[in-house]
Amino acid sequence: MKSKKSIIEAGINTLHAEAQAILGLIPYINDDFVSIVEQILAGKGRVIVTGIGKSAIIAQKIVATFNSTGTPASYMHASDAVHGDLGMIQKNDIIICISKSGNTPEIKVLTPLLKHAGNLLIGMVGQMESELAKHADLILNTSIDKEACPNNLAPTTSTTAQLAMGDALAVSLLMARDFNADDFARFHPGGSLGKKLYLKVSELAERNAKPSVSGDASVKDVIIAISKNRLGAVVVVDENHQVKGIITDGDIRRMLEKYTSLTDLTASDIMNNNPKKIDKDTLAVTAFELIREYNITQLLVTDAENYFGIVHLHDLLHEGLI
């Protein structure tokens, strides 16, 4: 069993080696890289990404990133390609073939077949004298000095370099397409990520009760309205249903501390006439930011100056936004 110190050193050394490898890729963001971005942007087909072994796993991740950021892409395993999957490639598709050595048997067999089909072939490769590098139309150079593995065998630094180069390409394409948060939301409608990008305050407020009282309502009526609707607040409105203020559980506690007699008090006497508000069309994640900033548990939701509803901290927790 290795010592705690040696284990920590191994982890740190691995991160240093991989970080240096990524920085070493900077000179390879060159004219070829620009040409690749331009070709993909101008292309009328998909980007087919292929590889073998660990490079195949990196290819799958790059495909997922492309698809989620506006570049249509498909994955093809290099071994399966020569057993029928070549049929998935259409004439307008662009192919990215990933290999550290560029000389594995599968890549040697596949490369001339890809060239014969006439598609643009991009080699993401770590050896510039390899078969893949020689046959590729354009190169994404992912050369490294050595693997982080102490035996210089297990793909570690090399796959990190491939992954980073794929991300650099995806982000460059994203920016060139002016791909924005609304576009991202269309491709990520599920889960908390999607909700942060599209879920609006109105959708939450509509699920809740809409407690309100008039300014001359008694304290008893106010307390009943707060307790009945379980939102910790009631909104004070005028005859036109415009917001005059809000009364929360905290306002009730402060009222009890301040007044000895409650007989003549009305909602107008105890309300907060400057409540924290949010427009119904605002993203729900913004509501959470305001609730956190002001250390409150609910926000008044408005439609212009009209009362629309209430959004509570629990609504945001339920949606997984926190």
Terminal CA-CA length for the chain: 41
**Residue 100 confidence (pLDDT):** 94
Q: Tens digits of per-residue pLDDT, 107-166? A: 988 888 888 878 999 999 999 999 999 999 999 999 999 998 888 878 899 999 999 999
Rg (the chain; Cα; Å): 30
pTM higher than 0.75: no
Q: Tens digits of per-residue pLDDT, 269-288? A: 999 988 899 999 998 888 88
Considering only 78-87, 156-165, 256-265, which range has the smallest mean pLDDT? 78-87
For range 14-30, the mean pLDDT: 95
Q: Residues 297, 303, 309, 315: is their CA dihedral positive or negative?
A: negative
Report whether pLDDT(46) > 60: yes
**CB-CB neighbours of 235 under 10 Å:** 26
Residue 16's identity, in one-letter code, is: H
**Residue 190 confidence (pLDDT):** 55
Q: Are 226 and 233 spatial neighbours (Cβ–Cβ below 8 Å)? A: yes
Identify the structural domains of the chain with CATH numbers, from first to last: 4-179 (3.40.50.10490), 198-319 (3.10.580.10)
The annotation status of 77 as a binding-site residue, yes or no, is: yes
Residue labelled with tokens 């070493």: 24
Q: How far apart are CA 86 and CA 58, in angstroms?
A: 19
For range 189-214, the mean pLDDT: 78
CA distances from 84 to 56, 76, 78, 79 (A): 17, 11, 11, 10
Write the DSSP string, 58-88: HHHHHHHHHHHTT--EEEEEHHHHTTTGGGG
